[in-house]
Chains A and B, each alone.
Chain A
């Protein structure tokens, strides 16, 4: 048994995904309220309120600018929460993984299933925001539907690092570090609220290395119907983050559980 062996992707991952969606369905009411309630508040509150003073940004209404960025950051937050609090709960106190690993499933399958599930949850939140944005009249064209698979990818991309945190965590409080030091700064500087090119040049360089900036660079043009530049680069960065973090998470969880 080699902890560093490359993971195998097998059908078992779908059984893990299926478990999670079955649990999610039991709490459908609160889940849907969360999905619609939060972005609606953001968009209506900030979009109209702040938008009144800001007027236009990057040649579009501030509401459109914000909606097309928040869809990416909401995918990030949703997947990060799921990949940390929920995954940790199943891994440690609830010992669900112990039960899963007594079957033919392997850590590879469990983490792949969780990653697909985090992507799915991000997709639910993305669809909700898309609906709200459409009702507010800021969706411009059918290409906006392409944000749905993109949002799934954004979720998977942030699920990996979150699960790495779960594997390293000794308790729930540990996640505060990751939120305060990584997620929140990324949320603020990655072009959700204002264009990245207004930042100092050195900072722009840092932002370009972070996945959220690339996520926003995909969702904003898709929703607002503006020109999509370098889509393959942005998709490539998200895929790379997802794949590398999946592998690291698998190795760390193997080391944590297979002892």
Chain B
């Protein structure tokens, strides 16, 4: 715990009548990518807003860069970059003006601004669109610009609230590559997501949140190992006969999931052999992932 960039103890956030964050503890080491994973309404965004000093902490202690957030919110934000959940680029300005104006909000010396803007345009691969209005950009380009904008103050930490929600797969991969590049440079990344693949790819450590509480924490591998069997076979359209036959083998744990059944197992050989006796059955065999952990911990019922 020597070089933790954030530490939170018994952090609570109450709004009128309900508790958005209900006594959580966590710490983030410098240079890592730390994820908050959870369904909608889990308290992820509220936690990020408290870290940035954008909403008062109801109870508990929270320090960022070793500074209490209650008294040093401006200083914390001066050293942090923020990528909000929905882009809030300035529609009154072109792409390069968006970056230049944002640099001014940080009080960056105007002589330094053009150089920074050029570097960030390269980072976002938007150099040839620099004069364009933001509304002419695709969703992926807007996200790249928002991420570039968050780097205008050379932050030690970047906070990203669902950085790839609503993007197509190509755009998502580009964002992931950019974030990996940032991590390489030693920037601490803090992100919320409900995409398991994103969390598995990017996060060194993560917490799974639900209803304002942390359910568990660890690296993606640790969490998978701790909560689910290593292999899973997904069955589509299996009837009760199939399910009871499989249950009788005592080789796997079966979880119904919508119209599918998930069979978790330590060794899939026997289960697969049994499944293959039902000829028309569609199935998929894969290693377990964070999604399985997530569903196990947060349950299956629909949120919001």
Contact = CB atoms under 8 A, between A and B. Distances in A.
A102 B107 contact: no
Interface string A116-130: 000000000000000
A169 interface: no
B278 interface: no
B60 interface: no
B61 to A, nearest CB: 14
Contacts of B105: 12, 15-16, 100, 103-105
Given A23-B92, A96-B88, A259-B15, A103 B97 contact: no
A259 B46 CA distance: 9
Nearest to B50: A1
- Looking at chain A's contact residues, the main secondary structure is helix
B218 to A, nearest CB: 30
A259 B77 contact: no
Interface string B44-87: 00000000111111000000000000100111011000101010
A94 interface: yes
Given A1-B70, A15-B105, A23 B93 contact: yes
Interface in B73-122: 73-75, 77-78, 82, 84, 86, 88-93, 97, 101-102, 104-107
Contacts, number: 66
Interface in A2-21: 11-12, 15-16, 18-19
Interface residues of A, number: 24
Interface residues of B, number: 30
A202 interface: no
For A1, A26, A98, which residue has the most chain B Cβ atoms within 10 angstroms? A1
Given A19-B101, A26-B92, A258 B106 contact: no
Interface of B: 15, 52-57, 70, 73-75, 77-78, 82, 84, 86, 88-93, 97, 101-102, 104-107, 153
6 contacts: A16-B105, A98-B88, A99-B102, A103-B106, A104-B75, A259-B55
